[in-house]
Structure 1
Amino acid sequence: MSLKTEDEMLHRTEKRMEPSQQAAPDPASQEVNPVYLQQLRELDIPEEAAKQALLHTRNVSAEEAAMYYFNKLENEEEGDEDLIYKMVFVVNMDLSMGVGKVAAQVGHAAVGLYQALQEKNSWREMAWKWDRTGAQKVVMQGTNMAHLLELQALAMSLSLPTYLVQDAGQTQVEPGSRTVLALVGEEELVSNVTGSLKLL
């Protein structure tokens, strides 16, 4: 009797396991492994893209999904290889800033813009492409605060991410002074905003 009971219990346990074993690799279910998804997010892969990669690779592993995602991205970009991305910093030359102060303000602008790029999936992808194509950075001269605001408005009208540094005023400049405008995007679009400016 005890042997028969053990057999029945084992049979029931196996039956209970079958549905979950079948559901895991089924791409039609639109369910992804949350552990694998988190691992992909830690690689800075956008959530939707990570989910699609897991579904296409049948939730086998985070490694398989990551390989699929990066291979797909590389293939998509083969036609975009000529596109160059650049980051430009426009310094407010109306302010009496020393070389060290300008360097610090450009640093603030770079960090601020890069943090802003993490807010949207499309911007995160732009940051990745910018880094992949050489992370080009150019520092240029702006006339004054009004000029920086005008350039920022133009950049935003072209859907380019921007960041404008507002100084705390602890050294050299008045509190609230706009010191540096940072923007990033495809070189051609960025040049529509800053192409006529002089290098610093």
Structure 2
Amino acid sequence: MESSNQPRLSDYADQDVNPVFLQQLQDMGIPEEEAKQALLRTMNVSADEAINYYFNKLKNEEEDEDLMYKMVFVVNIDLAMGVGKVAAQVGHAAVALYQTLQENNGWREMARKWDHSGAKKIVLRGTDVAHLLELQAHAMSLCLPTYLVQDAGLTQVASGSYTVLAIMGEDNMVNIVTGRLKLL
């Protein structure tokens, strides 16, 4: 199986949270982890934005079983991979992201909800490696789990090539990152 030495979400979460806004949310009785998540999901615009998000969205998220989740695969079309190679790389991305979800208690529940809502999977076009890295950074800033496949170089592409980015999450959150991309 091919692998990626990508950083985990926890490597970025603390540095992206505005400490002043975080303290304001905690002063209102919002637990630290949920306050961080609300700030990250609102891009640290303000404590008010995060508070509104927390009370209108995050707080009710666990109660709302009707939310739709999806797994999106962004293929690096700059590599001009054949159909079979693309299929194999998307398979690697799906398995690796699912394994990542199972290793994280918070994300394990997301995987369950995704499965319960139909296990939706979408394959999209990414322009090149820079585009995939940009999309991954944006997804991670929104606390969405990702996995970036790095090819072993045994067939059509050079060793170390980034072939497919997988992203998982609630439909509208994933759409913030990939909503403008075209289907493959």
TM class by shorter chain equals 0.5 to 0.7
| Residue 94, structure 1, aligned to residue 78, structure 2 | yes
Task: Identify, as 1 or 2, the structure richer in helix.
Answer: 1
* 2:169 corresponds to: 185
RMSD (CA atoms): 1.5
Partner of 1:84 in structure 2? 68
Number of residues of Structure 1 aligned to a counterpart in Structure 2: 125
Is residue 2:160 matched to residue 1:176?
yes
Contact 2:146/2:166 (8 A) holds in 1: yes
Alignment correspondent of 1:129: 113
Task: Specify the alignment match of 2:102 in structure 1.
Answer: 118
Specify every segment of 5 or more residues in structure 1 that has no aligned partner in the other structure, as ranges: 1-75
The amino acid of 2:129's aligned partner reads M
Q: TM-score, normalised by structure 2?
A: 0.66
Q: How much does 1:78 deviate?
A: 9.2
Deviations 1:32-79 (A, max 9, x none): xxxxxxxxxxxxxxxxxxxxxxxxxxxxxxxxxxxxxxxxxxxx9895
| TM-score relative to the length of structure 1 | 0.60
Q: Deviations over 1:112-144 (max 9, x none)?
A: 000100121110000000000000000000000
Distance in 2, matches of 1:79 and 1:173, equals 45
Is residue 144 of structure 2 the alignment partner of residue 160 of structure 1?
A: yes
Q: Which runs of 5+ in 2 are unaligned?
A: 1-59
Q: How far apart in 2 are the matches of 1:176 and 1:146?
A: 14
Residue 197 (structure 1) shift: 0.1
CA-CA distance at 1:81 after TM superposition: 3.6
Q: Distance in 2 between matches of 1:151 and 1:78?
A: 26
Letter matched to residue 95 of structure 2: V
Partners of 2:62 and 2:99 lie apart in 1 by 28
Report sequence identity in percent: 74
Q: Amino acid of the residue matched to residue 99 of structure 2?
A: Q
Between Structure 1 and Structure 2, whose CA radius of gyration is higher? 1
In 2, distance between residues paired with 1:77 and 1:150?
Answer: 27
Runs of at least 4 residues off by over 4 Å: 76-79
Change (3 A) 1:130 1:105: same
Opposite residue 174 of structure 1, the aligned amino acid is A
**C-alpha distance in 1 between matches for 2:80 and 2:61:** 43
